Amino acid sequence: MPSLAPHTASVPPSGIRRIFDLAGELDDVIALAIGEPDVPVAEHILAAGARAFMADVTDYTPNGGIPQLRQAIVEKLARENSLTVDLEQVWVTVGATQALHQAMGLLLDAGDEILVPDPGYTTFSMSARMAGATPVPYSLRPDSGFAPSIDELDRLVTDRTRVIIVNTPSNPLGSVLDADQLRELLAFARRHDLWVLSDEVYEYFTYGTPHVSIASLDDDDRVFSAFSLSKTYAMTGVRVGYLVTPPGMAPIMRTVQEASISCVTSPAQLAAIAAITGDHQHVADAREHYRGNLEAACAVLDERGIHYLRPNGAFYLWIDMQHATQGDVAGWTEAFLLRERVSVAPGSAFGRAGEGWIRVCVAADRADVIEGLRRLPAPHGTIA
């Protein structure tokens, strides 16, 4: 048979999905590996989607999305992200995953390089490889407070570098970059004439630290921003996100949307309108639920002497398990799952700098989170 395109062999598999699939084969697993909100979707969102299906609102929509949804996003961006855009800069996508993939398809060619955070979300590197480009990791390390180093970034740039990905709040770290740090990253991008691709999926979940959209600080139109309804409204399976582009991209965006998805499903978009324009008390309640779970989880880890990064955003804990993993955290997480029936994500799935660390999702029943963390070996405990 004919061979696949050579670049497909370079796309790494997801280490998170490996654990997810293995856990699905077992009984009585405490699931803390996947970023799946445990709160229900609000009734008014479900009702909007259900009404659309029952009324047979199932036709194609414009490539960019239903105009009412795009307008609702424009108003949301102005209200909550200090970002003034017009409707033709907003493109409804199949989750933020497609938004990120779409942006990379626009900005990268075979042989180009893209700077990706390490640790960073798995699809950053996967999508870059699918475009035939090379992801170049930039370090987020404990000794620098898990913040990017501009000096390191300057050293990593080559004549093939085209894009830098910025992710705040961070998945997997839960760290949040402030306005001054984002201005430094923009200045770096200007100095090297790079595009900036901003992942803001966890924008609504910060704790004592405001979320800042880097595009709101941009004055020369180099930022693409990816957003999602999945985490905010617990709509992970509905698959609605959006990409916000610099001005002037409408003609090419219509073309690439048509070539890749045509459009997002009509009922999903009507549910999205209800989510964005409706009452947000359920979002505030979810944030407090996650905050409470994080505080309870941190108390367990403090009590047991296990080192971790205290997050300012998202709903994850980044936990140092180097005392137990013997240099193979991926293998250790599988053995831990089989032995203790607790699924956690191996840090190495998020990049080389994640070796020895694990990501734990606290968007779960609090009792399960606490019990799962109590089964982790403490530094003085048994090594798996």
pLDDT tens for residues 149-194? 999 999 999 999 999 999 999 999 999 999 999 999 999 999 999 9
Which of 366, 359, 231 has the alpha carbon at shortest distance from 289? 366
pLDDT at 8: 87
Amino acid, res. 38 = D
Q: How confident is the model at residue 384 (pLDDT cuts 50, 70, 90)?
A: very low
pLDDT at 16: 85
Of all residues in the chain, what percent carry a pLDDT higher than 70? Answer: 99
Q: Is the pLDDT of residue 329 over 90?
A: yes
pLDDT at 144: 84
Which of 35, 143, 79 has the alpha carbon at shortest distance from 363? 35
Longest CA span, the chain: 61
Q: Is the pLDDT of residue 22 over 90?
A: no
Q: Is the pLDDT of residue 316 over 60?
A: yes
N-to-C CA span, the chain = 44
The mean per-residue pLDDT over the stretch 226-250 comes to: 98
What letters, b where the CB count within 10 A reaches 16 and e where it falls short, cover 198-227? bbbbbbbbbbeeebbbbbebbeeebbbbbb
pLDDT tens for residues 23-82? 889 899 999 999 999 999 999 999 999 999 999 999 999 999 999 999 999 999 999 999
Q: What is the DSSP string of 225-258?
A: EEEESTTTTT-TTT--EEEE--TT-HHHHHHHHH
pLDDT at 383: 41
The mean per-residue pLDDT over the stretch 12-20 comes to: 83
Q: Is the pLDDT of residue 250 over 50?
A: yes
Which alpha helices (DSSP H) does the chain contain, by range?
15-24, 43-54, 67-80, 95-107, 122-130, 150-156, 179-192, 250-260, 266-277, 281-304, 322-325, 329-340, 366-374
Reported as type and span, the H/E element at residue 139 is strand 134-139
pTM exceeding 0.85 = yes
Rounded CA-CA distance 297/362 in Å is 8
Q: How confident is the model at residue 260 (pLDDT cuts 50, 70, 90)?
A: very high
- Supply φ then ψ for residue 316, to 5 degrees: -125, 155
Residue 301, both tokens = 């880890």
pLDDT at 6: 87
pLDDT tens for residues 136-153? 999 999 988 899 999 999
Contact criterion met (CB below 8 Å) for 33 and 361: yes
Q: Is the pLDDT of residue 253 over 50?
A: yes
pLDDT at 9: 87
Rounded CA-CA distance 179/223 in Å is 15
